[in-house]
Amino acid sequence: MIELEGVPELIDPVMVAAFEGWNDAGDAASTAVGHMDREFKGEVFAALDAEDYYDFQVNRPTVWMEDGVRKITWPTTRLSVVRIQTPKPRDLVLVRGIEPSMRWRSFCNEILGFAHELGVEMVVVLGALLGDTPHTRPVPVTGVTSDPDLATALNLEESRYEGPTGIVGILQEACTHAGIPAVSLWAAVPHYVSQPPNPKATLALLNRLEDLLDLRIPQGELPEDARAWQVGVDQLAAEDSEVAEYVQTLEEARDTAELPEASGEAIAKEFERYLRRRDPQAGGSGTPGGYASGGGDGVPQFRDLGRQPRPGEKDSAEDAEGGADAGEDGGDQGEDGDS
């Protein structure tokens, strides 16, 4: 039963969702939704019953202390609402959780029940996959939909992927069958430095979401974190000749593939995006700053280049979501496979 007491009347609401697990390489997608929730001070209004969807031996609850009292946090999916003011008021319904262990159809139906009750106009699901993309280049982000009309209207790719999928693909198809426009945005994370966090991929997803929905998201420390992350990977690559050679190979492949795209129109469009994001109202820091420290867990480390991810692994999103289906050199556009 859906109860929405305390939720105000929403303005042009869009649901934005991300799930930890198979569809979240480098935790880039779930971090993006978490970033919006923090920046806009979202208030949780609902949480799905953890026992309905999660295997607690796979996703274990955690115990913590508050004022000397032991408390338990159960793995689940939570919904919150935030209001965007720039360039015009609009509400986002943020869905952040963990890919469910079971009952995926019921899980999606419950999410869609909230979407219908709140009058959601569109659902955008964020994902991240591992790909043959160099860390030194802009993060590729592809927008995918199963709706041909929506693909034309929003300049998105129409998914034609066949194969294993994750909760992102299932939710998107559930939206389509329910008559709710749905889009998934996929960021490609370098497979050789795949451990979280990846602030560069998170920032790329937020930038693409801004373009898609015509809104402004405060970036906070993400730009500094992204630069620090890249500097860290650069330093590690400089110390490993094998990795440095591999990165150079990826760079050459990427640059060759993108050369036809470097038209005057494409460059002008990217410059317009840059100018919009420099607007102080967009929430960027506007001033240079030192590189943020990621702490012990945030230090980049390289994967074994000889071991490619296999389907079914937590960080093997590109295999699960059609990394080879993109039709581009290096598999950077595997996002297309999630639908």
Which residue type occupies 121? E
Can you give the pLDDT at residue 255?
83
335 or 220, higher pLDDT: 220
Q: Give buried/exposed letters for 235-258 (b at 16+ CB in 10 A, else e).
A: ebbeeeeebeebbeebeebbeeeb
**DSSP letter string, 292-317:** PP-TGGGS--PPPTT----TTSTT-H
pLDDT at 296 over 70: no
Q: What is the pLDDT of residues 96-132, one digit of tens each?
A: 999 999 999 999 999 999 999 999 999 999 999 999 9
Can you give the pLDDT at residue 298?
52
Q: Which tokens in the block code for residue 316?
A: 């093997």
pLDDT at 307 over 50: no
Q: What is the pLDDT of residues 145-165, one digit of tens each?
A: 988 999 999 989 988 888 889
Can you give the pLDDT at residue 319?
42
Question: What mean pLDDT do residues 34-63 have?
Answer: 93
pTM of the predicted model over 0.85: no
Other CB atoms within 10 Å distance of the CB of residue 69: 7
Nearest one of 327, 21, 26, 336 to 191, comparing CA atoms: 26
270-278: long-range contacts (C-beta < 8 A, 24 or more apart)? 273/207, 273/211, 276/210, 276/216, 277/207, 277/210, 277/219
Q: Which tokens in the block code for residue 152?
A: 């034309």
Can you give the pLDDT at residue 302?
61
Can you give the pLDDT at residue 116?
94
Question: What mean pLDDT do residues 10-27 have?
Answer: 95
Q: What is the pLDDT of residues 227-276, one digit of tens each?
A: 999 999 999 888 888 888 998 899 888 888 776 555 555 555 555 655 65
* Cβ–Cβ < 8 Å for 15, 81: no
Q: What is the pLDDT of residues 166-224, one digit of tens each?
A: 999 999 999 999 999 999 999 999 999 888 999 999 999 999 999 999 999 999 999 99
Can you give the pLDDT at residue 160?
82
Backbone torsions φ then ψ of 259, nearest 5 degrees: -55, -45
Give the model's confidence band at 277: pLDDT under 50 very low, under 70 low, under 90 confident, else very high.
Answer: low
Give the model's confidence band at 83: pLDDT under 50 very low, under 70 low, under 90 confident, else very high.
Answer: very high
How far, in Å, CA of 66 to CA of 83, rounded?
30
